[in-house]
Structure 1
């Protein structure tokens, strides 16, 4: 059987790491792009997803050494709770460079080859905050909203070539990205969720893997596994 190669950005994090493990369990060969270590991946490269030159070089290296990238899952990102009046311009820019710019850089590097081969899947990671907004989370929600706009636009552009672009928009998820003092971990909030609990990174990874493997009819879809926080 031909090896299927998947690139996962943010693979050192909770959701990115879970994506690597989920795809590996389905027989994929996984390549990780992250500033930190990603021990679960078959192949890991340290790079800044916000730097287009670094991303393009990593993609060329992976495809030279492992084969064509057939799926790209873009989970790299960071999170902060800051009132809008206190957000420094450099923090606005960094949020956009990593979340939106990271997805753009990956898509520009991998989708031409996918289109040439006539198939491929890209999954971005948005957030339920892009759908409903959040108190003191303006720059994060804005960046994730931009991810949704990009995903839907690229889906319309690339679907005729056989490349499917979709996204997951998780709600509060039990990962290290959500600090212990986060308002989304407060018992009153968690108990008010229809499911009564936060989602797990593994559940978000399962939704992403569905878009890669089974959701062949999906293009521009936004799956939001959010424990019922946004219905």
Structure 2
């Protein structure tokens, strides 16, 4: 019987790439998204910012597919706004979706993982959580909070056999990155050691590695960012 993984944001660029890679590697994948994802074994329409909605969806996965062995928190959105123009609602929504989604999903899957003494959680963060960026204050702040939560949770649950890690990509070639984004500008790409944006499959490869890594790999952050932040 193949292991079961939940991927949030499964209809998005990174989430769909992660889902495909895990299915190709033999995982049974449940996809959570505000729209129903396609390339998964079980697609559920879920608002990751709604903890009750997430808990009900995780219960449905456990009922229909079996014990959840991996949780990948990839749901999110991006906004580029000057610091003084960020509204309280925009900041709060960023917090609810990114950090709230990680907390809600992790809270829902952890009881089963802790009971079984095994499991893996991976959060998708961002290079901006490490290096910052102009007009990215609320996004970078929340992604930084995700990294803090990952490190702290990793320490807390490691004795129980559950591993918690993160992937912090740089600008990635997904629909979330607008065609006129400055990250796509040739002048910016020329500053990267690789001279190219990361691809969703690059992020998916990192997620797969962290899910399959041995019991000593926990609290780690992988940085597929084209060498932008080293």
Pairwise TM-score range, normalised by the shorter structure: over 0.9
C-alpha separation in 2, matches of 1:155 and 1:112 = 15
Partner of 2:35: 36
CA-to-partner distance for each residue in 1:81-132, whole Å, 9 max, x for gaps?
Answer: 0001111110000000000000000010001110100100000011000001
1:70 has 2:85 as partner: no
Task: For residue 192 of structure 1, give the secondary structure of its aligned residue in structure 2.
Answer: coil
C-alpha separation in 2, matches of 1:160 and 1:227 = 34
Partner of 2:169: 170
1:90 has 2:89 as partner: yes
- Whether contact under 8 Å (2:161, 2:215) holds in the other structure is no
C-alpha separation in 2, matches of 1:180 and 1:200 = 15
Partner of 1:202: 201
Map 1:100-115 → 2, pairs under 5 A: 100-115=99-114
Shift of 1:145: 0.2
1:228 has 2:227 as partner: yes
Task: For residue 195 of structure 1, give the secondary structure of its aligned residue in structure 2.
Answer: coil
TM-score by length of 2: 0.99
TM-score by length of 1: 0.98
Shift of 1:173: 0.3
Partner of 1:125: 124
Task: For residue 190 of structure 2, give the secondary structure of its aligned residue in structure 1.
Answer: helix
C-alpha separation in 1, matches of 2:33 and 2:68 = 17
C-alpha separation in 1, matches of 2:194 and 2:27 = 31
C-alpha separation in 1, matches of 2:158 and 2:220 = 12
Structure 1 vs Structure 2 CA RMSD: 0.7
Shift of 1:3: 2.0
Shift of 1:191: 1.6
Partner of 1:191: 190
C-alpha separation in 2, matches of 1:103 and 1:167 = 11
CA-to-partner distance for each residue in 1:191-227, whole Å, 9 max, x for gaps?
Answer: 2100010000001000011000124321110111100
CA-to-partner distance for each residue in 1:164-198, whole Å, 9 max, x for gaps?
Answer: 00000000100000001111110011121000100
C-alpha separation in 1, matches of 2:215 and 2:27 = 17
Note closer, same or farther for the CA distance 1:17–1:215 as it changes in structure 2 (3 Å cut).
farther
CA-to-partner distance for each residue in 1:124-177, whole Å, 9 max, x for gaps?
Answer: 011000001000000000010000000000000011101000000000100000
C-alpha separation in 2, matches of 1:47 and 1:31 = 11
Partner of 2:10: 11
1:59 has 2:58 as partner: yes
Partner of 1:149: 148
